Amino acid sequence: MANQFDAVLIGAGVNSLACALHLSAKGWKVAVYEGAAVPGGAVKTGEYTRPGFRHDWAAMNLSLFAGSPFFKEYGEELGKHGCGFVPVNRPFASSFPDGSWVGVSTDMTETLEAIRALSAEDAATWERLVGGFGAEAPHLFGLLGAKMKFRAIASFMFKTLRAKGVAGSLDFARFLAMSPRQWLTLTFREPKVRALLAAWGMHLDFAPDVAGGAMFPYLEGMAGQAFGMALGAGGADTVTRALVEAIRARGGLVETGIRVTEVTKAGGRASGVVLADGRRVAAKEVIAGVAPSALPRLVATTPDFDAKMKGFAHAPGTLMIHLALSGLPDWWAEALKRFAYVHLAPSLDQMAATYAQAMAGLLPSEPVLVVGQPTVFDPSRAPEGAATLWVQVRMAPGEIKGDAKGEIAARDWAQAAEPFAARALDILEAHAPGTRAKILGQRIVTPLELEADNPNLIGGDQVCGSHHLAQNFLFRPARGHADGSTPLPGLHLTGAAVWPGAGTGAGAGYLLAQKLSR
């Protein structure tokens, strides 16, 4: 039958597409249905401001994908379908209101020089941490790549105990439980160096005082030093376009602009899907790349599981500002023109306040800005001499209950977007005077627009669910289901809401495909 498949996948995000490609490679007949007009979910690129300026819609950093086990297996095949990366040797920096800055480069001498300008003691600490990263990396990456099953966790714990001993293993466990502030305060003396690394926690819903968040600033700092960053050549959609073409080349179907409205059941198991145009598609396995809270709207499983899915917690949202500029921002510190990311997050206290305000439904008085400068490393994204700027404004509430600064009266994003974006651009202007005068085109994307484009980004939550300890590791998205399983045979979850969580590493999709194909 034309409408009968081994697997049907709902959504064409990176995890779904990686899952579909692996299953296709194992001989499965697969179909992928995506409600949006363009595949990729949060990983796509378009001319959102002016012709010739290519902007990454949400995700820009593709380091996790480029370094993933999935890409190691399929990189050559994806390369034949146009997937390419641009290496970044200066991945991130932070700019501070007094005109100072600090950044991380793959050149150790350069990084140490920048840190030493603030603190010689911290420069020595950084050198020590980098020297020990090779010994620590296998344990951290082993945990983050582990299948969240009892046997796999027991194996990981045994290996760690054997390598580190009892005392070292307890210290490792303590580190995993620490908040960013706890670890950074214990490790570095200079508040600006602490802020440089703490900004990475805000990418994954780990404000400075959230337990379990210390490993992310550490990993991003060490990985940035060791490997730099990878951007998509021409845009992040280099990945999704290549995935789609590879699936189609293997005989799979990828259809966009069509929503799945229902998952069907027969004989006590999932049997296929119903599309918005009325078509019924049969499948042996149904793989839902959807936010957990959306799953009960597609199919009922058990009351307990459905209640857990509906109660899945989301992080605060993000407002995106895409700018077409006549040239790069003229930062107070000229050196910042050489970095892919510039964080405008001056202190741990400011980040903590911003997070608390957003969680309370308030527009933050001083939001954290992640300023992406892709044209520094990939000039193809803008006309000659011009620049594409990618600005994440973190955090932003999906539902506005007020304004922490008392200036914006609007309580809906249609009216609040412009003044809140102006607040963010005021911050950018303070660090890079004259940036507004360089704007040729602008596109503001509110948290609700992000959700409308991709229903998985509920309230503009770009990480598809909080990564706090109660909803991470064995508990992502719920205890007993970190492998994407559900109580309904033949129905599986994938995406950033499933372990190993957010990012572009395709881990959830690849792990699920490996399990199913075995």
> Is residue 322 a part of any domain in this protein?
yes
The verdict on 428 and 397 lying in the same domain is: yes
What mean pLDDT, rounded, does the chain reach? 96
> Is residue 97 a part of any domain in this protein?
no
Please give the pLDDT value at position 297.
97
CATH number for the domain spanning 367: value is 3.30.519
pLDDT digits (tens, 9 = 90+) for 475-489: 999 999 999 999 999
- Average pLDDT value for residue range 149-178: 82
β-pair type (30-34, 4-10): parallel
The verdict on 219 and 284 lying in the same domain is: no
The verdict on 327 and 440 lying in the same domain is: yes
The verdict on 361 and 436 lying in the same domain is: yes
pTM of the model: 0.95
> Is residue 95 a part of any domain in this protein?
no
Using the predicted structure, report yes or no on whether residue 512 has a pLDDT greater than 60. Answer: yes
β-pair type (101-104, 92-95): antiparallel
Final residue belonging to a domain, choices 453, 483, 505: 453
The verdict on 321 and 308 lying in the same domain is: no
The verdict on 331 and 436 lying in the same domain is: yes
pLDDT digits (tens, 9 = 90+) for 403-441: 999 999 999 999 999 999 999 999 999 999 999 999 999
> Is residue 296 a part of any domain in this protein?
yes
The verdict on 386 and 287 lying in the same domain is: no
The verdict on 42 and 136 lying in the same domain is: no
The verdict on 330 and 421 lying in the same domain is: yes
Final residue belonging to a domain, choices 453, 484, 507: 453
CA–CA dist 400, 362 (Å, integer): 6
> Is residue 110 a part of any domain in this protein?
no
The verdict on 165 and 214 lying in the same domain is: yes
Please give the pLDDT value at position 147.
81
Q: What residue numbers bound the domain in which 419 lies?
A: 316-453
> Is residue 93 a part of any domain in this protein?
no
Using the predicted structure, report yes or no on whether residue 52 has a pLDDT greater than 70. Answer: yes
Using the predicted structure, report yes or no on whether residue 367 has a pLDDT greater than 70. Answer: yes
Q: What angle do CA 465, 469, 471 make, to 5 degrees?
A: 35
> Is residue 148 a part of any domain in this protein?
yes
Confidence grade of residue 2 (pLDDT, cut at 50, 70, 90): low
The verdict on 321 and 449 lying in the same domain is: yes
CATH number for the domain spanning 69: value is 3.50.50.60
Please give the pLDDT value at position 172.
86
Using the predicted structure, report yes or no on whether residue 1 has a pLDDT greater than 50. Answer: no
Token code pair at residue 335: 């050196």
> Is residue 109 a part of any domain in this protein?
no
Output the 3-class SS for 381-446. HCCCCCEEEEEEEEEECCCCCEECCCCCCCCCHHHHHHHHHHHHHHHHHHHCCCCHHHEEEEEEEC
DSSP 61: B
The verdict on 14 and 138 lying in the same domain is: no
The letter for the amino acid at 161 is L
Residues 6+ apart with CB under 8 A from 154: none
- Range of weakest confidence among 71-85, 137-151, 262-276, 361-375: 137-151
Number of domains in the chain: 3
Please give the pLDDT value at position 505.
95
E strands present in 89-128: 92-95, 101-104
Cβ atoms 198, 352 nearer than 8 A: no
Using the predicted structure, report yes or no on whether residue 251 has a pLDDT greater than 70. Answer: yes
Final residue belonging to a domain, choices 398, 420, 453: 453
Q: Is 278 exposed, middle or buried (0-12, 13-18, 19+ CB in 10 A)?
A: exposed
pLDDT digits (tens, 9 = 90+) for 191-239: 999 999 999 999 999 999 999 999 999 999 999 999 999 999 999 999 9
